Amino acid sequence: MAPHPVLIPQPRRLEWGDSPLQVGRLVLADVPDALAAFRTHLERLLEQVGTGGEPEVPVTLHRTTTEPEGYELDVDADGVHVRAGDPHGALHAARTLVDLWDGGGTDGLPRVRIADHPTYRRRGLFAESFAGTDLMDAADWRAFIDRAGQLKLNTVGISVYGCWDIRHDDTRSEYLFVPLDDFPRLRTPQRVVTWNPATGGEVALDYLPTFFADDLLAEVVRYAAGQGIDVIPHLGGPGHSTLLPRLVPELSALDDDGEPTGYGYCVSRPAARSALLAVIENLVRQHLEPAGVRLLHVAGDEYYPIRNVDPADRLRTVSPYCRCAGCRELTPGEQLVEYLVAVGTLLAEHGIGMVHWHDTLVRERVLDAYLDRAAAAGLPTPVIAWWKYNDPVPVPDAGRAPTWVTPTTGLFATLFAQDFGPNIETVLRRGHSAGAVGAFAYTMPNPADHANVACLADLAWNLEESGGSTGFRARWARWLCPDDAAAATHALSLASTVTASYPLMMYVLHHVLPYFSTSAAGVTTYPDDIVAATAITQPPLADVYRQARETLLDAVELMPAGRPVRFWGDPAESWARQAVRTADSLALLLDLLSAARSPATTGDDAAAELTRRGVELMRATARITPAYLRPATLREHWGFVREIGTALERLRASRAVSAEENWHAWII
């Protein structure tokens, strides 16, 4: 008999029975009305279990008293018995049956007795509006929902408006995902200059975000609701908001001369408040109410002056704070409170509550004052989501408002794959100790981040017995590679010495690609500065790249063959290919350094050979990248590859990297 399958999320109480139950198909008996809210999806899940023939095995559902979303599941000789306290519990029991079947091989449905319920009541993913998600079509969003649902997550956030600083090709990073009929000029056409694998050359893609062009919000909300998943739209601002105040200048913050800045909002002038609320009213009337949305994520994060948002002077610091006669008397925190109360009052009139990021409210020391204002105005108490993606993570204050905690399952889907297990564990443990009720991770939807999403789902469901990120990794290895889990655990642990180090990944390895260099116009020369930094004697960054590369390739060599996982393909293979992508990128940089140290000779074809390898790397990257992420991901690699020849000429001419490494007596 095959070993017992691993279940992720891990149940609280599980007892295995004897020989598996043979199942041709599961036949659902009557469903009590109290458990029938998601009957269609419940039936769809049960259809996934069985060989499709005989025997028919009955599934009985009974309502019982459990923790919210809890269930009890018995698989015995008489069939399948489910007891749940609510429709979500019944769904989770069916999802567990699917996982048992998928993990049981050809032996049948394992006999088991399970009693289960989640640690965190809210468990979900917040999908950012960014390069990549802007090309996700309806099928991509359905796949994202399916992945979240099967891992027993019950919430998905979708950013429908977000703005950041200027990036590639001097273009503003602005994303509006919902059309507003009253404001037809509010559109965010995108241009991505990237590399086309079909033609082998550079291509410029011009498009509107698919979510906007196909008006997908209501469709995605309905699809998720059928699986017991709430969709929470996310509205960026007033921090790093460039689109609205630029194209609707009536609501813009004013400078000291009374001129609209095109950045941030005025919260005191009646005309400005009316213009702002007209945008929110349009969003509610056209999208939120028809879709049945009852929570809006009104961001409020990162509300402070920043650079690189003015195309005319990218080094100029631009402030979101309004300087009109009424606003200049308010502190930044007070301006934020005015904005949140104004928006919250309008939303409350439509029965819609709010979620906010914690950072500015806490940094400006206005969280209590804001909660007091909200209570005095009779507004629903907002949810406060405490976020941090690196150490040290904050200790949330859950004393006055429903509190969620936000780690990340993936920050930059177009850069290198990163292991965020330690961040997920720390944030969830700290939140649980403080009384948080939600675990709501920032994400960029990417199948390559499967392990991070599964880790979030696992720890949010059963934090107490998870063993944290280390315990998860061992069970994850058994789930992926049941025939050699020890080798898989070793491979994952070895790779994590690189990929789970936030400082190494974020401040060193990611800079091999041009993403971060594009935000510092006129300050850096890419890739010359990275190559020059790699050439310095102390600290020996070249050896950082070498060891990271060799460690990743060693881990890939150790990883045994995996198995397909429903909705995710073959995660072990995906993990290996992402590790090779990182390793090959590091090798390309190191070899560019080596070529730069060698003087040009007759017939020198170093640049051509490096470019050829770069093209091979891009082709390999295209094969492992979802279509919606491919243009933005290849843009990163193309930004490096297209510069190889000219960068090599510049580096050789400047002799900036001529010295050989000599940082330790034993290194020769």
Superfamily of domain 122-180+210-466: Glycosidases (3.20.20.80)
Q: How many helices (H) and strands (E) does the chain have?
A: 22, 19
Q: Which pLDDT score is estimated for 389?
A: 97
Q: Which of 356, 289, 340 is nearest to 126 (CA)?
A: 356
The b/e string for 126-150 (b: 16+ C-beta within 10 A; e otherwise) is: bbbbbbbbbbbeeebbbbbbbbbbb
Rounded to whole angstroms, the Cα distance separating 127 from 145 reads 11
Matching residue, tokens 């991770």: 441
Exposed / middle / buried, residue 98 (Cβ in 10 Å: 0-12, 13-18, 19+): middle
- Architecture (CATH level 2) of domain 13-116: 2-Layer Sandwich (3.30)
Token duo for residue 546: 């070498």
Dihedrals phi, psi of 466, to nearest 5 degrees: -75, -25
Matching residue, tokens 């061992």: 474
Other C-beta atoms closer than 10 Å to the C-beta of 169 total: 12
Token duo for residue 219: 């469709």
pLDDT in tens, 285-325: 999 999 999 999 999 999 999 999 999 999 899 999 999 99
Q: Which pLDDT score is estimated for 2?
A: 63
pLDDT in tens, 66-120: 899 999 999 999 999 999 999 999 999 999 999 999 987 667 999 999 999 999 9
Secondary structure string (H, E, C) spanning 83-114? EECCHHHHHHHHHHHHHHHHHCCCCCECCEEE
Domain with CATH 3.20.20.80 in the chain: 122-180+210-466
Characterise 208 by phi-psi region: left (phi > 0), alpha (psi -120 to 50), beta (else).
beta
Secondary structure string (H, E, C) spanning 480-542? HCCCCHHHHHHHHHHHHHHHCCHHHHHHCHHHHCCCHHHHCCCCCCCCHHHHHHHHCCCCCHH
Pairing of strands 383-387, 403-406: parallel
Instruction: Give every strand in the sheet of 71-76, ordered side by side.
Output: 13-16, 112-116, 71-76, 79-84, 56-63, 25-28
Contact (CB, 8 A) for 195 and 637: yes
Q: pTM for the whole thing?
A: 0.97
Dihedrals phi, psi of 584, to nearest 5 degrees: -65, -35
Q: Which pLDDT score is estimated for 667?
A: 65
Domain with CATH 3.30.379.10 in the chain: 13-116
DSSP state of 571: H
Token duo for residue 305: 């002056």
DSSP state of 127: E
Stretches in the chain below the pLDDT threshold 50: none
